[in-house]
Chain A
Amino acid sequence: MTNIALAATVTTGEAVTFWILAPLALLGAIGMVAARNAVHSALWLVLTMLCLGVFYVVQAGPFIGMVQIIVYTGAIMMLFLFVLMLVGRDASDSLIETLRGQRVAAILVGLGFAGLVGTLVARSVSDTTAVGLEAANRDGNVQGIAALLFTNYVFAFEATSALLITAAVGAMVLAHIHKPKSERLGQPDLMRLRFRAGNHPGSKAGPGVYATSDSVATPARLPDGTLSRASIPEILPTRELSPRETAPKGTEK
């Protein structure tokens, strides 16, 4: 921890970590936009988020870094992946442009925005020296965050959690179909239905039992010789064999 806590000066390890992970993070960001498959896109985003988590740790915020990896990369992106996988792996976006020149315009605006933000951050941060990190992390990073969360920001924190819980409960109420217990059929009720008068409790006769042909269209013959309608699928029309079909075909000798 000692070399992480002294983050006011950039150590060699920090610089090396940055120059390895920063290109990876950028690669992930570009890959996320460029990938055609939605799942690949999500995976590139995971890479970027992992790099960001490590950056937080290097910037003397080990707690927020780990939480970034556990919560965002581990849980939230996983839920994204869930949806993408269930939607189907071939559901990639159509590449036909509906707006003419949209791609060029998007690239130009994106570059402009990146330049604007980059110069803004560079101009405002380049001459300032970071102070107060030692004081903030004096009792340890986790303790420092906890002290702030439960004193100055306790109202904002509680309000956020109330909002999240409301959203989660709301989603559950909307999505979950709750059957009251009185409407649910238990095993005894199912058995009563099965053995009620007029219902045959056994399994239906399969096609081909006592039948003259092995076609599924041939109804099964019950032991008393009658044909069983229950043995053939309902969509198949029943028909008797024509005399030509029943006539000997001359193949037997």
Chain B
Amino acid sequence: MTPAVYLAQDPTLSDFGHDPWWIVLIKIVFAFVFAVLATLLGVWFERRVVGFMQVRPGPNQVGPFGLLQTLADGLKMAFKEDILPKAADKVVYFFAPTISVICAVTALAVIPFGPMVSIFGHQTPLQVTDVSVAVLVILAASSMGIYGIVLGGWASGSTYPLLGGLRSSAQMISYEVAMGLSIVAVFMTAGTMSTSGIVAAQAGSDRSASLGGFDFFAPGWYAILLLPSFVIYFISAVGETNRAPFDLPEAESELVAGFMTEYSSLKFALFMLAEYVNMVTVSAVATTLFLGGWRAPWPISIWSGANEGWFGLIWFFAKVILLVFVFVWLRGTLPRLRYDQFMRLGWRVLLPINLVWILALAGIRVLQKENSDAVRWGIIGGALVVILLITLLWPDRKKRPQVTLQEQVNQRPQGSFPLPPMDLVVPPSPRARRGVAERQPANVGGGAPDVIESTTSEEKEG
């Protein structure tokens, strides 16, 4: 290892495209194996964590800690009967799950797993490839992945899958808009669309302040710098991957299993695979765009060796697992949204907030670059005037006239449904009175609750 290697540890776009074919093959196989392994372990992880949250063990029979449970499930699924519905469109029905999986895995090709490493003597970035529009490649892959779900729903030839498929595509298209807009802030700050460039831009060593002899480095992570974008990205990522609380396409209480209703055997397994790979992919993208990618988190990053070579993989995987845990946590905590509430959240809340935030960020960027004070004050004054106008012109809610309960009762027409008296006081329970009268009997076999009740009622009355 020569010092020159350390200097070139941040891969740039010019580092890509020089690998011999066998290194490219190794990287592609690595990304694919990562996707499959992430699914196998992801399902196990989710079931264990949800089990822990619901105070039950979760899968613990197959293998140590139930680690092989997903493998067993996968094998079982492969040996099940592959049912082809009579009304299905055979070709499309067959291709839909494969489209889902291919698009989900493709996005992993532009994720930077680590810095420059040495593979069998070759210096190469730990990333399959990078292009100047890498983030758009990820967006393109996810927008093509919708086809798998929609076509699967349509080709099944029955109503529930069709409705589930349409629902899911409307959902994913809506949330892709919010997702794309939240990435815009990252583009504006990083000045590039290549994933390795965005990771390099989050190194954050150029923004520092010294206070009392100590040097403070401002966090380079866009999760802190661009917090609104990060929050919106994560919310829309949950919507995009059809995960709870946004799992409306497969809302089992309304649509049986949504677009997957008619699928069985390996095709169903492929849809499952695509769902989990998608979850891992959006987590990896969030890590890359907002959490500093493969760079070590703050206290560890003081050690200069933390960002070198294969160490990058550790930090990357740690961050991805953390985000996947948040996905599972959300699923274990939140109930499912209603469809109209969900769409309203996307279009009326996330989208406008995002637009305003991008506008504000653009203003801040211009302020930073502008040198003349007149223009600066002009921008700040303009922003203040706009805020003032909005607060002044914001439509206020009409207050409802206050009508007392007695007036409402008086307004009821003759012969209405009878009402209980308004001054109704719930009388003491007759059982409690009996308890007082009986006065704690000496030995009552199995009568413990009665005794407890009688004592409490005594306290109430006395």
Chain A interfacial positions (CB closer than 8 Å to B): 1-4, 37, 39-40, 43, 46, 50, 53, 57, 62-63, 66-67, 69-70, 73-75, 78, 81-82, 85-86, 89, 140-142, 195-198, 201
Contacts and interface: CB of A to CB of B under 8 A. Distances in A.
B452 interface: no
Contact of A141 (B132, B143, B144): B132
Nearest to A79: B173
A70 B157 contact: no
B405 to A, nearest CB: 13
B242 to A, nearest CB: 15
B413 A197 contact: yes
Contacts of A1: 13-14, 16-17, 131-132
B303 to A, nearest CB: 33
12 contacts: A1-B17, A1-B132, A4-B131, A62-B132, A67-B136, A69-B144, A81-B169, A82-B169, A82-B170, A142-B193, A197-B413, A197-B414
Given A62-B133, A62-B136, 16 more contacts: A1-B17, A1-B131, A2-B17, A39-B92, A57-B131, A62-B131, A69-B140, A69-B143, A70-B139, A70-B140, A73-B143, A73-B144, A74-B173, A141-B133, A195-B417, A196-B413
A179 to B, nearest CB: 14
A84 B106 CA distance: 28
A115 B143 CA distance: 36
Nearest to B415: A197
A244 B17 CA distance: 94
A89 B154 contact: yes
B239 to A, nearest CB: 16
Q: Which 3 A-B pairs have the closest CB atoms?
A: A74-B143, A66-B136, A197-B415
A63 B134 CA distance: 10
B166 A86 contact: yes
B174 to A, nearest CB: 11
Contact of B143 (A37, A75, A81, A85): A75
For B16, B143, B165, B166, the residue with the greatest tally of chain A CB atoms inside 10 Å of its CB is B143
Interface residues of B, number: 35
B14 to A, nearest CB: 6
A70 B136 contact: yes
A85 B162 contact: yes
Nearest to B137: A66
Nearest to A65: B133
For B132, B165, B192, B413, the residue with the greatest tally of chain A CB atoms inside 10 Å of its CB is B132
B357 interface: no
A1 B417 CA distance: 78
B150 interface: yes
Interface in B145-176: 146-147, 150-151, 154, 157, 162, 165-166, 169-170, 173, 176
A74 B414 contact: no
B89 interface: yes
B443 interface: no
B410 interface: no
B140 A78 contact: no
A70 B414 CA distance: 64
B238 to A, nearest CB: 20
Contacts of B13: 1
Contact of B416 (A62, A74, A196): A196
B133 A39 contact: no
A193 to B, nearest CB: 12
Contact of B150 (A4, A67, A78, A142): A78
A74 B177 CA distance: 12
A71 to B, nearest CB: 9
Contact of B146 (A3, A74, A198): A74
Nearest to A188: B408
A82 B166 contact: yes
B193 to A, nearest CB: 6
A142 B132 CA distance: 8
A141 B13 CA distance: 13
B285 to A, nearest CB: 15
Contact of B132 (A37, A67, A89, A140): A140
Contacts of B136: 62-63, 66-67, 70
Contact of B140 (A66, A86, A196, A201): A66
Given A1-B131, A66-B136, A197-B413, A89 B169 contact: no
Nearest to B151: A43
Nearest to A192: B412
A209 to B, nearest CB: 22
Contacts of B414: 197
Interface in B120-146: 131-133, 136-137, 139-140, 143-144, 146
Nearest to A73: B144
A141 to B, nearest CB: 6
Contact of B154 (A69, A75, A85, A142): A85
A226 B297 CA distance: 79
B132 A195 contact: no
Given A39-B154, A89-B154, A140-B132, A74 B144 contact: yes
Contacts of A198: 415
Contacts of A82: 166, 169-170
Contacts of B413: 196-197
Contacts of B140: 53, 66, 69-70, 74
Contact of A78 (B92, B146, B417): B146
A1 B132 CA distance: 7
Given A73-B144, A142-B193, A81 B150 contact: yes
Contacts of B132: 1, 62, 140-142
